[in-house]
Structure 1
């Protein structure tokens, strides 16, 4: 049985790692976009300093003035990317890195809904306090479920699967474990939660078939232990 506070801590850990990755990519994008501009301004200022040095002829002064005017115009027309543009670039970079290649070991899903509609308000993400009470925990779960069609993150789905399993709501646990497996079928945890949820609902044969197929592909000792527990009717 899962402890809710433990699940909350794991979920926070997942979120912190994701925010660190986003911050890292945002910093990299800012450096990449601003470095060429800094080099350009440095070279212009250097040329301007040389042109204003000692023993400068009238002709040189005119050329220097022309360069200065050009620089002033460029400063008006050329500016560093705005914070909004930098955020867009950062998000695009992070999303491209976040895409994974999935194997063909997916649990077949008959109802593949969840398409994102355009111009729909996306619920904001809020940090979850580690001190969880029943009322607050229920609100957190509702928020995660509401934003899932827009984020479709593995961390959220596996968190929901664990939560519902700990609450003995095995049908919902099965649903979210299946969603997690669809997003990333390489994660062993989603397979185990899905099979255990089915077994708890009385579908032991189906649970064993699922785990056996995964075990044949991976040879996981943990999966083998769960298979033995289900076959022998032990508590799991």
Structure 2
């Protein structure tokens, strides 16, 4: 009995350690498919340390009890009940079409690739434009343009005004380009994975990076609890009964 308890504790610590290290694959004998592990490492990294380890313990216990999730049903439940409502509130995205597809897919009626792609593209555009680090881009653009103007004989006031105008224009254009690039790359990949209920294909869409984008986009508008909300929602989705 003592040996079993020790082995369980060791496995739990190995699980938490791997999450902290954000390893590419879960530890041996962990009932976590690659797609789930990549979501879990991203969420764990976004949570405060004490909360992160407590959440990791609950996830490990859930996987030991329920086993590995089959297919992408949990992803669809999570998107429907947690991710899309969070985005709709925080970023003012129209998520109705995507939510309908995820809801149907969770019931086993997934749409074809083209339907998924059409619904996902506008959501991905809004998400990644909101997730773009405008503050850093603006500050960098302003500093560079201001210094250029100063070096070319403009007064400090003129250089500062020029820097702000350049930063405003460039950061907006860069945010749109950033969003378009991500939407064009992710849309077809996610659509193909969802249409085929293909777990390895979904794992290859960088789900961890998508989580971080949702957190960045949401945190700009809320009280900073987006990561906690997403983490709790994922645990709920993994145990959600069929509807």
- Regarding TM over 0.5, the answer is no
Q: TM-score, normalised by structure 2?
A: 0.22
Q: TM-score, normalised by structure 1?
A: 0.22
> Which structure has more helix as a fraction of its residues?
2
Larger Rg: 1
